[in-house]
Structure 1
Amino acid sequence: MANRRFDGSTANTMKNVGIKKAALQMSRYVLASKQVQRALKLLGLPASRANEVSGIPKPADTSLSFPGYEAFALHGEAWQAAGEQKPIILMFGVHPWKRDVLARYFSDFRVAYVRTNTSWTKVQTSFCQFTPQAFVFWGMTEIRAAKNYAIKSSIPLWRVEDGFLRSVGLGAQHVLPLSLAVDTTGIYFDPSRPSTLETLISEIGVTENATLIERARRCMSMISAFGLSKYNVGQDVPLKRLPPSDRRRVLVVGQVEDDASIVMGCAARYTNNDIVRITQKENPDAEVIYRPHPDVLGGHRKEFSNPRDVANICTILSGDYDLGSLLDSVDHVYTITSLLGFEALIRRKKVTVFGAPFYSGWGLTDDRQPTPRRTAKPSLDELFAAAYILYPRYCVGSLGSSAEIEHAIMSLALEKNGVPRELAEGVSSALPAEAINVDCVSQTLEGLKSIPS
């Protein structure tokens, strides 16, 4: 990524960003870069891109303003001179706090975010200035007028969501993502229609690709070794672990019961308590462990079924558990559509699903909902390669959107083990993807811990 200057001309184009805020961002960026460069030098890694190494967005990534584009919040480098000929995409339903970083995932485009309170008439009037290359919707955001216009005008409709290896911390806490799922057909959690991910999984076994499969195995081993998941609890949170047990254990993964992945991905209407009761009935001799969704326990999302109503037939977990350790401590996982089911597959656990998440219907899970389109029989390695390597985009440190999954895994593993995010991203993005494995991450972590602060 080219180094961006922060000067008077840039400041004049920045909208609603004060000089103090810009100066603060720049100082954080410079300090982070120096910290990264010092670490790289001490670790014996290349450190030639001193002004490019940082997970912190630079001040020029703030909202810009140009005549004729008043209906939009404009973010990203491509709006500056070097990218002025790049095509424009419109994005709908994206919260302001993550617009800067999302623009980095679409570096081949100028990204214009449609403001929430802007009428469609005003948006459409702007098309005398340009023809959008695509309309991009966050999740299942629906703006009927925009969708109808796109279909009538043959403008592609894309959908985006957080990737499967997202961050250390939650999006609800405004933690920025390291990966993004970009689907040009549907979206991975809506099995009612095809998606780019479903097509990738269906076709991945058609031709042999030994290099891709080796990568998949290497990445899965790193995910297991460092206990990674989509959201990783930070190092400042004391994690709980299950005590050893001689009994067979079955884990029920609670979800937010009105979440889009359940509404779209499950034909029947199950509550979490329904799944607990079915699990206990099918496994009468096992210890049934129920992990309610943290957002439900914390009162952040609506509770449709009360965990206390099934307390007599299961062990209910509360608080922050190390998910990798939790999965390692059980024999079988039951869920409706949770990604934790696939994370259990990575750890070679038996998984029962009641909806149709992206990983069901391929012969690897115990499925309670039919998925007639899914006739291929990929291996676990192939399924992982499609879902985690080929499908998402990764954005890490100086590499930006040219980062690979290995860079995200290493950054997450370092950060989860106490390395500041800016340093974790900077160090990870300085390495070639093929050099990153369990030993490399472990040795780097030990090296970083030995560097005096």
Structure 2
Amino acid sequence: MKRFYKIAFSGFSGMDYRNEEINDVYLLKSLIQKINKNTDNEVCYLFNPIGDGINLKKYFYLLDTNVKRYNLHSIRESTLGAFEKLDEKQRESVEKIIHQTYEFNLKMLGRSDITQIRLRVYKLINRIDWLIDNEKINLFIVFGDSLESSVIRLIANQKNVRCVSLENGYFRPFTLMVDHTGVNAESSIPKQKKFYENLEFKDLETLYDNRRTVPQIQNQVINRVKEYRNWYYKELGIILTGQPKEKDSVSVKTISEKLIMKNERYIFVPLQLETDMQIIKNAPQINSLYDFLSKVVNLVTEINNSLVRKNEIPLKIIFKKHPLYIAEAHLESYKKIESLKKDCEILFESNKNTSDLLEKTECVFTINSTVGFEAIERFKKVVTFGNAFYNIEGLTLNYEENTDAKIIEDYLNFDVNTDLVKKFVCYLRYDYFCVINRRYPSEVEIENLIDRILGVKNEK
């Protein structure tokens, strides 16, 4: 018997980011319309009134989807305290969400009130509990990893209600993560080496070679999406602009291109934003960006001392700043960067293409950046300093407090297991991710995404 779902969407955006045409306005409209037209399921939208984009009333109603909106800050709360129903492990998860939000606000805004955050989370728990019990919502579809999406996932799981998480896939812009557990390091992507070793692919080499081939987009799809998108923002009186040119506020030397041309040895370190929830949630042993940089410099310095004793060429370090680092350049970490000891040569790069830097590097040191995944694709060694979806034995070395420089130096001499890499990458590309061009989704891709959402693997 086909199951009826009352579906609640949440977490979609309405604005461009980093000059990418995210186009959630078109994607969300298409998903809702297709669900309403082709199924008996009912749809609503949960919005955060302190958010922007589709969260704003005028933005949402312009989509003309004819679905009910629920304000996450004013939904009637359960008369019973929903928090009291949580078990000890779930309460620990709530405390994590609270403290992670506190840390994010402190870094992003320079201030944070943990009492207000706790009250906000407790009320949100009650509101999601009420929606499930009274509005009979039995499927949540959340985008991203915000406070709201984290609480929704937690309460849905506690009440045995399905929650599907969406996030950008790692083959961009034509894949989307559709997961019943969470996103990034908290996703259901298998972490066991044996899982990938046991996989069998027909013509693995061809699949691997074609992994980044972008599916062709029909001109009529592009024109239809552009026409709608231009109309939508024009109606709102919004002129879309590209990303502001970043400023190099750190005085450093950038000679990495010459270094690469000379075939000198170097470690590539792609920097993430200190306010990135990927770090706050999934890198408990990294206190700040400066803390991470210090660890890297100290480790490479020790490795170099060993290399020099063996009459081998020492390693240099190339740090590449995140494209949006200027948004948090005021943070103390950036001010302290130049105080790092220079026992090994440190280079900072802003403009060099990441692909070029990956090409000749001996190893990538990263907290949990997606650049680490790109490095694995290129059969590079990767050392992670946080939890990452690609932390798999044989693919990466995960740094822990007891990981000394000797362990990393030995790891640099290991041969990459290319067969394991290809199987891991092909599993993600052809099995795990849903193929849909988020900028220009076709009718077929939207239908496939809905099928994936309504029939997510490992459903409870």
The TM-score, its normalising length taken from structure 2, stands at 0.52
Structure-1 separation of matches of 2:257 and 2:441: 39
Match of 2:325 in 1: 296
- The answer to whether 1:264 aligns with 2:293 is no
- The answer to whether 1:184 aligns with 2:214 is no
Match of 1:119 in 2: 75
Q: Which amino acid aligns with 1:357?
A: A
Q: CA 1:113–1:86 in structure 2 vs 1: closer, same or farther (change >3 Å)?
A: same
- The answer to whether 1:86 aligns with 2:38 is no
Q: CA 1:254–1:398 in structure 2 vs 1: closer, same or farther (change >3 Å)?
A: closer
- The answer to whether 1:340 aligns with 2:340 is no
**Sequence identity of aligned pairs in percent?**
18
Higher helix share: 2
Q: CA 1:247–1:56 in structure 2 vs 1: closer, same or farther (change >3 Å)?
A: closer
Q: CA 1:236–1:152 in structure 2 vs 1: closer, same or farther (change >3 Å)?
A: closer
Which residue, out of 353, 358, 361, partners 2:392?
361
Q: Which amino acid aligns with 1:280?
A: T
Q: Which whole-Å deviations, capped at 9, do the CAs of 1:61-101 have from their partners, x for residues lacking one?
A: 66xxxxxxxxxxx9732365x2461354766769654789x
Match of 1:138 in 2: 144
Structure-2 separation of matches of 1:200 and 1:113: 41
Match of 1:399 in 2: 442
Match of 2:310 in 1: none
The structural deviation recorded for 1:282 is: 1.8
Q: Kindly report which structure 2 residues correspond to 1:9-20, keeping only aligned pairs within 5 A, or say none.
A: none
Match of 1:198 in 2: 190
Secondary structure of residue in 2 paired with 1:252: strand
Contact preservation (8 Å) 1:161, 1:180 = yes
The structural deviation recorded for 1:341 is: 1.6
Structure-1 separation of matches of 2:359 and 2:150: 45
Match of 1:162 in 2: 168
Equivalent pairs, count: 302
Which residue, out of 204, 215, 219, partners 2:207?
215
Q: CA 1:280–1:110 in structure 2 vs 1: closer, same or farther (change >3 Å)?
A: farther
The structural deviation recorded for 1:154 is: 1.9
Q: Kindly report which structure 2 residues correspond to 1:225-304, keeping only aligned pairs within 5 A, or say none.
A: 242-243=257-258, 244-269=261-286, 270-284=291-305, 285-299=314-328, 302-304=331-333
Q: CA 1:153–1:378 in structure 2 vs 1: closer, same or farther (change >3 Å)?
A: farther
Q: CA 1:187–1:344 in structure 2 vs 1: closer, same or farther (change >3 Å)?
A: same
Q: Which amino acid aligns with 2:322?
A: H
Structure-2 separation of matches of 1:132 and 1:309: 53
Aligned-residue RMSD, C-alpha: 4.7
Q: CA 1:125–1:286 in structure 2 vs 1: closer, same or farther (change >3 Å)?
A: closer
Match of 2:422 in 1: 381
Match of 1:309 in 2: 339
Q: Which amino acid aligns with 1:86?
A: N
Contact preservation (8 Å) 2:164, 2:179 = yes
Q: CA 1:385–1:131 in structure 2 vs 1: closer, same or farther (change >3 Å)?
A: same
Q: Gaps (5+ residues) in structure 1? A: 1-53, 63-73, 101-108, 168-177, 223-233, 371-375, 405-453
Match of 2:80 in 1: none
Q: Which whole-Å deviations, capped at 9, do the CAs of 1:151-198 have from their partners, x for residues lacking one?
A: 45421233332222345xxxxxxxxxx4432220233324xxxx3112
Q: CA 1:77–1:289 in structure 2 vs 1: closer, same or farther (change >3 Å)?
A: same
Match of 2:360 in 1: 329
The structural deviation recorded for 1:330 is: 2.2
Q: CA 1:56–1:266 in structure 2 vs 1: closer, same or farther (change >3 Å)?
A: closer
The structural deviation recorded for 1:363 is: 0.9
Structure-2 separation of matches of 1:93 and 1:166: 27
The structural deviation recorded for 1:381 is: 0.8
Structure-2 separation of matches of 1:266 and 1:60: 32
Q: Kindly report which structure 2 residues correspond to 1:61-72, keeping only aligned pairs within 5 A, or say none.
A: none
Secondary structure of residue in 2 paired with 1:215: helix
Structure-1 separation of matches of 2:194 and 2:47: 29
The TM-score, its normalising length taken from structure 1, stands at 0.53
The structural deviation recorded for 1:379 is: 0.5
Q: CA 1:141–1:125 in structure 2 vs 1: closer, same or farther (change >3 Å)?
A: closer
Contact preservation (8 Å) 2:320, 2:350 = no
Secondary structure of residue in 1 paired with 2:333: coil
Secondary structure of residue in 2 paired with 1:317: strand
Q: CA 1:179–1:141 in structure 2 vs 1: closer, same or farther (change >3 Å)?
A: farther
Structure-2 separation of matches of 1:158 and 1:250: 37
Structure-2 separation of matches of 1:356 and 1:160: 19
The structural deviation recorded for 1:278 is: 1.8
